[in-house]
Amino acid sequence: MTKLLVVDRDGEEHEVECKPGLKIMETLRELDYGVAAICGGMCSCATCHVYVDRNWADQLPAPMSDERELLSELAHFQDNSRLSCQVEMTESLAGLRVTIAPDE
């Protein structure tokens, strides 16, 4: 298990365990303060929207075009926005910090 830091919509930070090899959405949707992930990871709902801590943003693989397209349509889009269903947890991302984005 790998450590993931999650800032909820009230600004409170939580340390949670995240299994490498899984998309971080899989962990976030199990949390009371996490994401809805309505489409189950099909990159079509954007209810798994998070902001990646800027210190980590460069260490993630760049988003594919379908993720970029969906993100760009969001009212709360920022340059560090990601869909958590498209980000795979790895050992090298231990300590990754993400903030749950506001509901659209």
List residues near ligand FES by CB under 6 A: 25, 37-39, 41-48, 83, 85
Strand, helix or coil for residue 58: helix
The amino acid that residue 93 corresponds to is L
| Pick 41 or 63: Cβ nearer ligand FES | 41
Q: How far is CA 64 from CA 1, 4, 26, 70, 89, in A?
A: 26, 23, 19, 10, 16
| Pick 6 or 83: Cβ nearer ligand FES | 83
* Element at 54 (helix H, strand E): none
Residue 36 C-beta: closest distance to ligand FES, Å: 8
Nearest alpha carbon to residue 102 among 51, 39, 45: 51
Residue at shortest CB range from ligand FES: 85
Residue 95 C-beta: closest distance to ligand FES, Å: 22
Residue 82 C-beta: closest distance to ligand FES, Å: 10
| Pick 2 or 81: Cβ nearer ligand FES | 81
